[in-house]
Structure 1
Amino acid sequence: MAGNTNSPRQSVAARTLAVIGAFDDTHRFLTLTEIAERAGLPVPTAHRLVREIVAWHGLVRRPDGAYVIGRRLWDVGLLAPIQTGLREAASPFMQDLYAATLATVHIAVREDTQVLYLERMSGRASVPVVSRVGSRLPLYCTGVGKVLLAHAPDDVVRRVLTDLRPQTPHTIVAPGTLTRQLSQIRQHGYATTTEEMTLGACSIAVPVRVGDDVVAALGIVVPTLGRNRATLVAAAQVAAAGVGRTLSQGRVG
């Protein structure tokens, strides 16, 4: 539950935000009753607020009666500096990387203990890819996530290591093994996964740096790594260096 925020002193803005905050990665479709429950609001209050947000195009009511996030909120979210700057900087290099590999390419940042996907270009190969623009996945079993985790603060790493859950039979859930892998990622400059998030999908990811800081991760999803591993790593590193250079020179925004 999103939390009980209903209070006589609660402002209209707080109640409106509670309605929007009722939605998350695991609650993308909610009925009016579910929204009210997760927002901690009486159903009549939730109904009035939802109606106003729908009129503003912040929510959309589906034919089955459930509500989903609307385009207006998505457009506003894309104005966040971390998204606009990175997306603009990454776009041409992601296009070059896609043209060279014909694989799914994405760029992501760390959001606490999850990886947030900012942009994705879908490859031609039939590979199951669960990431979507705006979606969040675990750090420890995705290529871009492992890169970001390898360069995350110690407290973030500790929290992740205490909550390793298998997504597939190949997910690494042994803290010691993952810790050694993170050290290798820092040493070699790239991460790989083999069916750890989704069966039938492998990935390579590299850091995007601005100075000494890792600000994002650039990843490629393919059916298998095989003999193309070195080529994919090199291509991704060239693209990531271009993104970092563009960000450093302030040629976006």
Structure 2
Amino acid sequence: MPGVERPPTVAGKVMAILESFAPGGVRLTLTEICGRAGLPLATGHRLVRELTDGGFLERLPDGSYRIGTRLWRIGAQASAATTLRELALPHMEELYAATHENVQLAVLSGDQALYLERLRGPRSVPIVTRVAAELPLHATGVGKVLLAFAGDDLAEKVIARGLRAYTRHTVTDADRLRACLADVRRSGYAVTREEMSLGTCSVAAPVRDADGDVFAALSLVTRRSGVDLRRVVPAVLTAANALSRDVDAHGGSAEWKDWA
């Protein structure tokens, strides 16, 4: 496929097929998989069939594919992510019980925010995030927290790449984003208003490792109208700080350094 480098080895081709689901394509057709992986249709068809037979992919009734349960079981054993989710869930559940709004946990993944866990209920405002999804740093609450504490180099990289507008409220001006990140560092939390999707507001706070470095962010996403920041901000900060204490008590910080 023009513009897509073809993997040179069989292992590389298999990894490219599995990686094709990473951008958020929960269900992909064979043509979409081959296009994302840079593979000829015949090669992709053979490898996808083998992965499906082995349980690493699942073929749906409409002919599309999604990640299979065997690969999910293997991925669920990723130690750092599993440990963090286990530590975070009690605090996320308490925050959800107090607000009945979306509660999310994310870490830095390159220049994106990777969502590790999400809690929501029937009264929660609909949002675009899901577990394992990656969303932009500049347009999300967790993203702004992660970007603010990641250092100027990453912020300048994100700015140089271009600040895409997801809604008319997304911060797309470089100087305004720099000022926003400085405010996050000063206040210790981030607030977004309809920047990723219309009608929503988010409050996010940093989660720190045993050395005090920010490696994750916890957020609450609610409806834009009627949000009371005087109530929401302290609740999110309390949950994030409690999780940070649990991470510290878990011992050491090396486990989280890939994300810090």
- TM-score normalized by the length of structure 1: 0.90
Alignment partner for residue 146 of structure 1, among 144, 147, 167? Answer: 144
What is the rounded CA distance, in whole Å, between the counterparts of 2:25 and 2:98 in structure 1?
37
RMSD: 2.2
Report the alpha carbon displacement of residue 37 of structure 1 after superposing the two structures with TM.
4.0
**Residue 225 and residue 144 in structure 1: after superposition, are their counterparts in 2 closer, same or farther (change >3 A)?**
farther
1:179 is matched with which residue? 178
1:232 is matched with which residue? 232
Contact between 1:150 and 1:182, CA under 8 Å: does it hold in 2?
yes
Moved more, 46-55 or 24-33: 24-33
Q: What secondary structure, in the 3-state scheme, does the structure 2 residue paired with 1:68 have?
A: strand
1:167 is matched with which residue? 166
What is the rounded CA distance, in whole Å, between the counterparts of 2:164 and 2:37 in structure 1?
28
| 1:113 matches 2:115 | no
Report the alpha carbon displacement of residue 166 of structure 1 after superposing the two structures with TM.
0.5
Matches within 5 A, 1:24-173: 24-25=22-23, 27-162=25-160, 163-173=162-172
Contact between 2:101 and 2:124, CA under 8 Å: does it hold in 1?
no
Contact between 1:104 and 1:124, CA under 8 Å: does it hold in 2?
no
| 1:4 matches 2:5 | yes
Report the alpha carbon displacement of residue 192 of structure 1 after superposing the two structures with TM.
0.3
One-letter code aligned to 1:145: G
One-letter code aligned to 1:176: D
Moved over 4 A (4+): none
Report the alpha carbon displacement of residue 130 of structure 1 after superposing the two structures with TM.
0.8
2:217 is matched with which residue? 217
Report the alpha carbon displacement of residue 6 of structure 1 after superposing the two structures with TM.
4.9
**Residue 21 and residue 224 in structure 1: after superposition, are their counterparts in 2 closer, same or farther (change >3 A)?**
closer
**Residue 176 and residue 47 in structure 1: after superposition, are their counterparts in 2 closer, same or farther (change >3 A)?**
same
Contact between 1:105 and 1:123, CA under 8 Å: does it hold in 2?
no
List alignment gaps of at least 5 residues for structure 1: none
Q: What secondary structure, in the 3-state scheme, does the structure 2 residue paired with 1:179 have?
A: helix
1:207 is matched with which residue? 206
Contact between 2:7 and 2:16, CA under 8 Å: does it hold in 1?
no
Moved more, 26-35 or 211-220: 26-35
What is the rounded CA distance, in whole Å, between the counterparts of 1:126 and 1:91 in structure 2?
17
Contact between 1:4 and 1:38, CA under 8 Å: does it hold in 2?
no
One-letter code aligned to 2:30: L
What is the rounded CA distance, in whole Å, between the counterparts of 1:233 and 1:101 in structure 2?
12
Report the alpha carbon displacement of residue 164 of structure 1 after superposing the two structures with TM.
0.3
Report the alpha carbon displacement of residue 115 of structure 1 after superposing the two structures with TM.
0.5
Contact between 2:107 and 2:115, CA under 8 Å: does it hold in 1?
yes
Identity of aligned residues (%): 46
* CA deviation profile, 1:67-125 (whole Å, cap 9, x unmatched): 22223223322222231121011010111111111111111111111101110110443
What is the rounded CA distance, in whole Å, between the counterparts of 1:118 and 1:174 in structure 2?
29
**Residue 141 and residue 242 in structure 1: after superposition, are their counterparts in 2 closer, same or farther (change >3 A)?**
same
What is the rounded CA distance, in whole Å, between the counterparts of 2:111 and 2:152 in structure 1?
12
